[in-house]
A = this chain, B = another copy of it.
Amino acid sequence: MQYSSKLIEKAVQEISKLPGIGQKTALRLVLHLLKQDEQYTRSLSEALLQLRTQIQYCRQCHHISDEPLCSICRNPHREQTLLCVVENSQDVIAIENTAQYKGLYHVLGGVISPMEGIAPSDLHVETLLKRLENSSIQEVIFALSPTMEGDTTTFYLTKKLKNLGLKITTIARGIPIGSEIEYTDEITLARSIAARTVYEV
């Protein structure tokens, strides 16, 4: 496409690198920005830059955070005996939005996937094991997507945790197999946490 403006071309090019946004949508967004107040583009641009440069990852649970320890880990009112293991920060946000779960989290940063070359050593497994030693945690809930990779990861980790004397559960399969946690509706997701079942090895 030709835009007769280098500025437009550059902006369209950068925006269309985002997932799910093609050149036509990018152009529509660019022309929308031009119609809006300059202040909006300033605050959008600034928010993106601040986000990317100032964001941190919680040193305990690896969730995205504004501080070295995230607001969930810092909160003394969360149940300190419950730990929910999830794939990524999207999943933490999705579960938090059900307002049903009051325990802590551990973000693995992915799931084991031989196809994509993701091994347990690429995930936050070591910090999970270290965290569970001498902690107040009594139950570990696996809330990984019910896919081949998610199930493999759950299986791998439950074997690792077997000798720690913890109660190990997985969220109930109210979630349709093959779908992803971040896109599940809140009611189904909340119910699946409430109806979690004991994972038997």
- Shortest A21–chain B CB gap in Å is 8
**Residue in B6, B18, B28 whose CB lies within 8 Å of A66:** B6
Contact A42 B32, beta carbon cutoff 8 Å = no
The CA-CA distance from A31 to B51 in the complex, in Å, is: 10
The CA-CA distance from A16 to B59 in the complex, in Å, is: 29
Main secondary structure of the interface of A (DSSP, over half): helix
Copies, count: 2
Chain A residues 1 to 30 lying within 8 A of chain B, measured CB to CB, are 1-8, 10-11, 13-15, 17-20, 25, 27-30
Interface membership of A118, Cβ < 8 A: no
Question: Which of A91-99, A120-128, A143-151, A163-171 is found at the contact surface with chain B?
Answer: A91-99
Interface membership of A90, Cβ < 8 A: yes
If A51-B41, A52-B41 touch, whether A18 touches B32 (CB-CB below 8 Å) is yes
Interface membership of A63, Cβ < 8 A: yes
Contact B31 A41, beta carbon cutoff 8 Å = no
Number of interface residues of A (CB under 8 A): 57
The CA-CA distance from A121 to B78 in the complex, in Å, is: 62
Chain A residues 42 to 61 lying within 8 A of chain B, measured CB to CB, are 42-55
User: Which residue from chain B places its CB closest to the CB of A6 in the assembled complex?
Assistant: B66
If A4-B96, A5-B66, A93-B1 touch, whether A44 touches B34 (CB-CB below 8 Å) is no
A-side interface residues toward B, CB under 8 Å?
1-8, 10-11, 13-15, 17-20, 25, 27-34, 38, 40-55, 63-66, 70-72, 88-90, 92-93, 96-97
- 29 residue pairs A–B, Cβ–Cβ below 8 Å: A1-B93, A2-B93, A2-B97, A3-B93, A4-B64, A4-B72, A4-B92, A5-B65, A6-B66, A7-B47, A7-B54, A10-B47, A11-B47, A11-B50, A11-B51, A14-B43, A14-B44, A14-B47, A18-B29, A19-B28, A20-B28, A27-B90, A28-B90, A31-B64, A33-B48, A33-B51, A33-B52, A34-B51, A45-B48
